[in-house]
Structure 1
């Protein structure tokens, strides 16, 4: 049976789920698949691209969503926090792929709130940077045994403040 990119991403996703991003390597994925590491490079050029594809797979439920921006980013939080090192995974992937879900759906939602295309583009980038940073901090705190019961409230308040700022900017003369 021939190796496929989908099999590589599936194996990498399983390893990220079990061990976290830092413990996933091309060699480990190859071992999981029972092939030599060189066999992976025909389908995936490097670890970063493999992780980007894993992130796209994780975020697939956010690909074409019609939720309001706040609800969409709350769903992002659920998906990210469900995965060990999910914040780190998505940060890596977003730095490589600024069109990672939920960005297109987020821009579409912002356009429905009277944003121009340029404002929607900029606001989506700001919201993603805030959300991913907040989620990475929250998840790393959890990994180090520092539970923060107010984390979800702070996350939502930050998003609401950013969205209110967008509404004020758009409605200002």
Structure 2
């Protein structure tokens, strides 16, 4: 049975969650699907395209509402739900691999400059949190219990500056 694009993205996210972004190669995704790497190119042009699709899937269920702080907290949770999820989203955003529906929806609520500032903050803080948690898991550092609260304080600072 042939794999669909959804199958490829699903499996890529599984590989990402198991091995991290550093080891999420086209070859590894193909192996997880039981196909040759060349078979992936029937669905995606290159790894950057796959990363873009993975990023879109990670944030797909995040609805941006008038509760901007709540929306950003949901975005953070979506990225934290998968290993290196924030790094994938950051990579896709930095290289403008897709038009960000999240950015567009957020800009409608707070304007483009604040939207971009919020997204840089949320993705950056989430990347830092993921790296910190991974280091703590392997015993390299002690887990900082203030990560979640510091995120909320930062959001309040950014959103408070709009007034």
TM-score, length of structure 2 as denominator length: 0.88
Structure 1 position 90 matched with structure 2 position 93:
no
Structure 1 position 15 matched with structure 2 position 6:
no
Describe the superposition over 1:93-144 as per-residue Cα deviations: whole angstroms up to 9, x where unpaired.
Answer: 222346435323322322xxxxxxxxx1111111111111111111111111
Contact kept in structure 2, 1:141 and 1:147, CA below 8 Å: yes
Separation in 1, partners of 2:144, 2:99? 30
Contact kept in structure 2, 1:8 and 1:40, CA below 8 Å: yes
Structure 1 position 127 matched with structure 2 position 137:
no
Contact kept in structure 2, 1:85 and 1:139, CA below 8 Å: yes
Contact kept in structure 1, 2:58 and 2:85, CA below 8 Å: no
More divergent stretch after superposition (78-87 vs 89-98): 89-98
Structure 1 position 154 matched with structure 2 position 141:
no
Partner-residue secondary structure (3-state), 2:161: helix
**What is the number of residues matched between the two proteins?**
157
Q: Which residue in the other structure is 1:35 paired with?
A: 35
Partner-residue secondary structure (3-state), 2:17: helix
TM-score, length of structure 1 as denominator length: 0.83
Separation in 2, partners of 1:137, 1:126? 16
Q: Which residue in the other structure is 1:114 paired with?
A: none
Distance 1:129 1:65, change over 3 A: closer
List runs of 5+ in structure 1 lacking aligned partners: 111-119, 168-173
Structure 1 position 81 matched with structure 2 position 80:
yes
List runs of 5+ in structure 2 lacking aligned partners: 137-141
